[in-house]
Each structure stands twice: as C-alpha cells, then as structure tokens.
Amino acid sequence: MSFSSTETVSGLTLGIGVLDDIFAGFEFGDFVVLYGHDILNMSFSLAVRCQLPAKHGGLGSPVVFIDGGNSFNPYLLAKIARECNLEYAPVLEKIYVSRVFTAYQFSSLILEKLDDFLKCKKAKLLIISDIVRFYRDIPKYEAKEIFSKTCIKLSEIAADKKTIVIVNFFHDDRYRNFFDILSQRATVLVRLRKKEGILSFALEKHLKVKPFIINFPTDYASLTSFMGV
C-alpha cells in the first residue's frame, strides 16, 4: 500500500474508511473520469451516498444518471441503500435516469437539455455511464468532433461548481482516442484495477491532491464490499 496526498477536499466521500483517511472525496467543480474494474459499482454507491446528509459524507441531493449502455441496475442500488440504512424506494425515486441509444441522442441531451434538467431536479451529482458506447457507429471524423464538443460541455457544467460530474469509461483500445480527449478535459482521473485478490484504487490526476495508489487485499467480489456510511 502506497500513497501520498497534500490538500484535502470536501464534498462527496467514497465511504471507504482507509481511503477516506487520505482522500476526502469529490467536490463541486470536479469533472471525474472513472475507468477500469468495478467502476459501475462505485458509481452506484456514490449515487446512493450523494443522498446522505453532509455529516455522513453526502450532498443531500438527487442524482441525474445518463445511461449510455443499459447498465442501470435498480436491484444493486436497492442493496446499497439498505447497507447505508436507507429506505430503497425513496433513494431510487431521487435518481433520475435518462437512457440514450445513439451518439446523436447522447450529444443532443448533453449540449441542449442537460443544464435545464439539472437545474429543474436540483441535482448536485451527474453520472454518465458508458460514454463512448455509440460513437463507433458513426464516421470517425464526425465522432471525434461531436465527442470533443460533448466533453467541453461537461467540463463547463462542472466548472460552474454547482455539480459533480462523474463519467464511466469502459477502457478499450478501440476507444483510446476518445479516452485521450476525455482525460485531457477531466480534473480528476481514477483507475480501479482488480487482479489476483487485490483491488487497487489509483488517483492518477487531481488539481489539489498528489497521485497515489492504495491496495485492498480482498476476497470480496466488488468495491461495494468496503463502502458504507
């Protein structure tokens, strides 16, 4: 286990004791990219934790979840809610899910409608799952242009410091160019890796905290095994 951090941040904590001791979580203005293993589990846990009061590391806020890969799992969210001693029905009601099926739908939602929707729902956390899924279905030059505009818009939403933006990127060499565009815009880059019973959390980029890696020796199936209030 090795780590090194400087300033702490305040906002949405991860709810993992040993990790929270050195990394205070995500704050307003963060444009976070998660990639690697178990990123969906972490995102679902953060969607639940976001609804906790500030004294428990949450934001006391609803969540907007844009589902690009049909990955939204209400059963897992209900399980996490119960582990946080929350009633699962009210938790699910405060997660506003929008599904998209093409790159054009996704880009239109981000560029034209998202600002008003976040404001209407008073959501302080935006989660985007499988952000590049549909871009392989359109010409490369067009995909790169639209994707770049989308990433710029997401960074602007985060920069308003009213919302935490978290993007899930399912790493694949076919999308390396998209990852490069996204990671350049991101203010926070986190890689999760699971191998041979070791789960690693690597903070690779942050404006206030030095990069670090922390390892969890575990026989558990997922990161949510560690997460709680």
3-state secondary structure 23-75: CCCECCCCEEEEEECCHHHHHHHHHHHCCCCHHHCCCCCCEEEEECCCCCCHH
Interatomic CA distance for residues 73 and 179, integer angstroms: 25
Residue 95: inside a domain, yes or no? Answer: yes
Residue written as token pair 């209900």: 78
Residue 226: inside a domain, yes or no? Answer: no
Expressed as residue numbers, the domain containing 83 is: 17-220
Residue 175: inside a domain, yes or no? Answer: yes
Phi, psi torsion values for 99, nearest 5 degrees = -100, 140
Residue 3: inside a domain, yes or no? Answer: no
CATH number of the domain that residue 141 is part of: 3.40.50.300
Total domain count, the chain: 1
pTM of the model: 0.89
Q: What is the pLDDT of residues 35-79, one digit of tens each?
A: 998 899 999 999 999 999 999 899 999 999 999 888 899 999 999
Q: What is the pLDDT of residues 112-154, one digit of tens each?
A: 999 999 999 999 999 999 898 888 889 988 999 999 999 999 9
Task: Provide the CB-side half-sphere exposure for 32 (13 A, CA).
Answer: 27
Residue 150: inside a domain, yes or no? Answer: yes
